[in-house]
Amino acid sequence: MIDLAIRCKNLTKVYPGGVSAVSGLDLEVRTGECFGLLGPNGAGKTTTIEVLEGILKPTSGQVEILGHTWGNGDRAIRERIGISLQETRLSEKLTVRETLKLFRSFYPTGISPEEGIELISLSEKTNARVGKLSGGQRQRLAVACALVGNPALLFLDEPTTGLDPQSRRKIWDLLRRFRSEGHTVLLTTHYMDEAERLCDRVAVVDHGKVIALGSPNELIASLGGEHMIEFSVANGSSSSSAPIPESELRSLPGVSAVRVDGVEITLTASEPHLVLPRLLERLGGNSGELTRLSIRHTSLEDVFVELTGRHLRDGDTS
């Protein structure tokens, strides 16, 4: 049997007023893995993670954290988890060191404030007030507050949203080190590159449900090809008709999916070197001028688009 850090079965959460944020979500996070909840804004990621953190009460469903359930043994769970909320404004009047010392005092064991400061490489800001820190530095401090209690399980709600690339990379490094010591991480994100780089497994969440689950590679492979060929054609006289019939595109070697979005056409292909010559040859005829052509690796974004017909950043508008 696999050792589970988080077990969650048939979780639902309906807010007063009837808004259903989570509708029957199942989740199993194994000890020692970095697990990502990926989905657009409004998909129910924050509600899910806050139920798992014991901050929100679920409407129904079972949640087990490190072998305990919320409602009995809360303190035992709290002492072993670290949390970074999506939005916390730490006290601006306290210094970095004072903030970490305060959070450290809540836990029976843990690292020293100085060690925490070193972890987030903020040593030169040890005695600076939180109010004087940049957004990225504050977010790193929030992560350090989650780490001072030496947790076995770390919850991070959108840890890098809105951060500069340097701060993002520092947080990623921090999480990799934390995970390399055998600890578990659950994070939410709507950055697919973050999920691809950090997560061992990812659950794609939409409308409060898990719609796909697996390692980033498995999910990408499930699309049938590792490359995306995107092109568009300016179609001379009649712009409405596709330059090449969809059925013909589908029959190209190694093409597993075709998506037509206006004049933009996307092919999912396993072997672009076989598809491209045929495609260019076909376009060289009379079907119009090729205005754009690109080949890139398939990403989790494509998985999401394939599953929902929407982009991650579109929000919940469909």
Partner 1 sequence: MTVTRPDEPPSTIVKYYPLKELIVARAKEFFREPEAIFWVYVFPVLLMFGLGVAFRGGEVEVHVDVVAGSEADTAARSLKSVDGFRVEVVAIEEARARYAAGKVDIIVEPSRGGYRYLYDASRTGAEAAKIRVNDVLQAAAGREDRISSTSDLITEPGSRYIDWLIPGLMGMNIMGGGLWGLGFVTVDLRVRKLLKRYVATPMRRSDFLLALMSSRLFFLVPEMVLIIAVGHYAFGLEVQGNLVAVAALILVGAICFAGIGLLVACRAEKIETVSGLMNLVMLPMWLLSGIFFSSERFPESMQPFVQALPLTQLNNGLRGLILEGSSLTEQWMPLLLLSGYGVLAFFLALTWFKWK
Q: Tell me which DSSP letter residue 310 carries.
A: S
Among 75, 165, 286, 317, binds partner 1 (CB under 8 A): 75
Cβ nearer to partner 1, comparing 149 with 216: 149
Cβ nearer to partner 1, comparing 34 with 119: 119
Residue 193 to residue 225: CA distance in whole angstroms: 18
Among 26, 28, 64, 79, binds partner 1 (CB under 8 A): 79
Cβ nearer to partner 1, comparing 97 with 168: 97
- The β-bridge partners of 231 are 265, 293
Buried b (16+ CB within 10 A) or exposed e, 232-246: bbebeeeeeeebbee
**Per-residue x/- marks for partner 1, 49-68, CB under 8 A?**
----xxxx------------
Among 26, 28, 64, 98, binds partner 1 (CB under 8 A): 98
Among 60, 105, 239, 251, binds partner 1 (CB under 8 A): 105
Dihedral sign for Cα atoms in the order 293, 298, 302, 306:
positive
Which residue type occupies 33?
A: E
Q: Per CB under 8 A, which of residues 141..160 are in contact with partner 1?
A: 145, 149-150
Neighbouring C-alpha atoms within 13 Å toward the C-beta of 7: 9
Decide: helix, strand or coil at residue 189.
strand
The strand pair at 34-38 and 201-206 is best described as parallel
Q: Shortest Cβ distance from residue 250 to partner 1 (Å)?
A: 50
Which residue type occupies 44?
A: G
Cβ nearer to partner 1, comparing 161 with 215: 161
Phi, psi of 296 (to 5 degrees): -145, 165
* Region at 73 (left for phi over 0; alpha for psi -120 to 50; beta for the rest): left
**Per-residue x/- marks for partner 1, 6-45, CB under 8 A?**
----------------------------------------
Question: Could you tell me the CA-to-CA distances from 177 to 39, 51, 172, 227 in Å, in that order?
Answer: 25, 26, 9, 31
* 128 contributes a contact to partner 1 by CB under 8 A: no
Task: Give the interface segment with partner 1, choosing from 37-45, 97-105, 213-221, 275-283 (CB under 8 A).
Answer: 97-105
Cβ nearer to partner 1, comparing 48 with 308: 48
Among 87, 127, 240, 317, binds partner 1 (CB under 8 A): 87
Q: Tell me which DSSP letter residue 69 carries.
A: B
* 111 contributes a contact to partner 1 by CB under 8 A: yes
Among 4, 14, 102, 290, binds partner 1 (CB under 8 A): 102
**What residues make contact with partner 1 under the rule CB under 8 A?**
53-56, 75, 78-79, 83, 85, 87-91, 93-94, 98, 101-112, 115, 118-119, 129, 145, 149-150, 177-178, 181
